[in-house]
Every structure is written in structure tokens, then in C-alpha cells.
Amino acid sequence: MSPSLSFLKLVPTMQEPGCPICHIRNECERRYLDNLLLEHVNDGETRDNIIASLGYCDKHTWEMGLLDLATYKVAVKNSMIYEYLVKSTLHHLIKYRQKEESREKGINGWFLRLFRKKLPVAFEQEPFAPMIVKGCYVCQVGEQYENYYLYSLIEGFGDESNEIREAYLSSEGLCLSHFRKAFSFGNPKLSNELGFLVEATIQKMDSLGDDLTNFIYKQAWDPRRKGGLDGEHIPWVRALRFFGSNEENLLCEPWASIGLRKEPMATSK
């Protein structure tokens, strides 16, 4: 994908509230799960990936379940996936029990002959550690897109003639996690671009600090302004997005009462 094509995705995303890279990663992960449920439930490679991580991380486990329910009204596809996972896990656990029992009999065999009684088996090893050979595959997919678009964004700051800088300055900017990750690429050629990012972040944090101060003052001393601004413009919500990434990362959102988006599980169809 060329930088110009990545900009076509980045610029509109920066018009949304919150960190643009969080938006892109969440969208890519939901699209992967959407395609999985649509076409790859019985795919061998997909099942191997699920087994290799013993399911997905907590976020994507529930996201896939809710997405299945929202899209198809009944979570049959999740049932198919977890039928396979449960039976594979059960088979492994039974083998673990048999192995531990055999090991104990070998070690304590002479005790059995001496006292003619069965000694308790010491189940001390974690049974599932040998099964897990890699992390959540959906997270891996999301991280690949995250790295690509974050690098494209930083690289785009080097060209003052394109609209990336202007779009970024009018956005909420990167969350703290992606701000820090931008410095992990280790490319000395991006020094000027990272300098722009630092200056832009200083401006945004200075403005946010003032907005928080005004918000606190109005809540304390001006009864007419109780509740303050609406939805995405509330300063403390913007502060939470910066320090804790976008609220789309949460499965259960308490945001409906203040006007934020209520359906982070919407499909990309």
C-alpha cells in the first residue's frame, strides 16, 4: 500500500474524536472478526491460530461473540468455533491428567508396594502452558495495521505540502500509547517528523489543560453550567482518550449518557 493510499484512510479518520490509530486498529480487528465469522469458521488455519493462543484475548473473545450475535442474531458460529476449542482443550487436559498420574506412579511406586495404598497425585504443573505457542491472533493482525499506519502518519509529517499536518492539528491527536510507539521505530530519518509530533502534542496538551481547568471551575462555581459540554467535547473524556486510548477499546461503555457512540461493535459491512 502506497503512502498516498494510506493517507486516504488516515485523513478522514482524523476527523473522528480520539486517537486516529486506535480507530484504524479497532476497525481492522473488527473487519478480521467479521470476515472470520462470514467465511472462515471451519477453516483449518483459523482454528490452528485459535488453538495456538488457547482462544483470543479477553477483548476479542467477547467482541467476536457479540459481533456474531449482532450480525446473525444467534451465535451459532461462535458455538462451532468453541466446540472445537473446548474439545481440543478437554483432550489436552485428559492427557495431562494421565501423564501426571503415570509420573507419580513411577516416582512413588515403591511406596505403593510398601504401604499398599494409593498416594495422592501432585498436580503442580500448569496444564495449558504447553498448548499456548503464541498470543491472540486478532491482536497480531491489529498490530500489523497499527504499525503500518502509525509509521505512514509520522512519515507524512515530513511533507508540508500534503494535508496530513493540517488534518492532524485539527484532530485530538495520538493517544499516549501511540505517541510513545512513534518513537520506537528507531529511524533517524524521522527526526524532523517526530519534532512536529512533539510540538503538536505540546499544543494539544496545553489546550486540554486549560479546558480541564475551566471545566472544573464551571462545575464548582457556575450552577448554570452543570454538566458542561456534551459528549466527545468533554475535557475529561479527551484526557481519558489520551492516557487510556479510545473508548472503543472497551466492551461495556458507560458513555451513552453523555452522548458518545453507543455501538462500538458495528460491523464494517
Describe the crossing of helices 137-156 and 58-72 by its angle, rounded to 10 degrees: 100
- pLDDT confidence bin for 4, thresholds 50/70/90: low
DSSP letter (8 states) at residue 71: H
Which value, to the nearest 10 degrees, does the dihedral of the CA atoms of residues 166, 167, 173, 174 take?
Answer: -110
pLDDT digits (tens, 9 = 90+) for 141-182: 999 999 999 999 999 999 877 789 999 999 999 999 999 999
Q: 127 near 93, Cβ under 8 Å?
A: yes
DSSP collapsed to 3 states, 209-223: HHHHHHHHHHHHHCH
pLDDT of residue 266: 43
pLDDT at 163: 86
C-alpha cell at 128: 495449558
pLDDT tens readout for residues 234-248: 888 888 888 888 866
In this model, does residue 255 exceed pLDDT 70?
no
pLDDT score of 221: 66
pTM beyond 0.85: the answer is no
pLDDT at position 41 over 50:
yes
DSSP 8-state symbol, 119 = P
Other beta carbons less than 10 A from residue 33's beta carbon: 24
Q: Give residue 162's pLDDT.
A: 74
Q: Which band of pLDDT confidence, cut at 50, 70 and 90, is reported for residue 252?
A: very low
Amino acid at 103: R
- In tens, the pLDDT along 83-133 reads 999 998 898 888 888 877 676 555 555 555 555 555 555 566 777 777 788
Nearest alpha-carbon partner for 263 in 5, 69, 42, 37: 69
Q: Report the pLDDT value the prediction gives residue 253, as an integer from 0 to 100.
A: 46
**CB neighbours of residue 112 within 10 Å:** 13
How far apart, in whole angstroms, are the C-alpha atoms of residue 18 and residue 13?
A: 9
pLDDT tens digit sequence for 173-203: 999 999 999 999 888 889 999 999 999 999 9
pLDDT at res. 257: 46
Closest CA to 236 of 203, 207, 212, 200: 212
Read off the pLDDT band of 256 (50, 70, 90).
Answer: very low
**pLDDT given for residue 254 in this prediction:** 45
Query: pLDDT (tens digit, 9 = 90+) per residue, 47-70?
Result: 989 999 999 998 899 999 989 998
**Model confidence at 264: pLDDT above 70:** no
Confidence (pLDDT) at 147: 96
Residue 266 or residue 198, greater confidence: 198
Question: 6, 148 in Cβ contact below 8 A?
Answer: yes
All cell numbers assigned to 153: 502518519
Cα 101–Cα 130–Cα 107 angle in degrees, nearest 5:
25
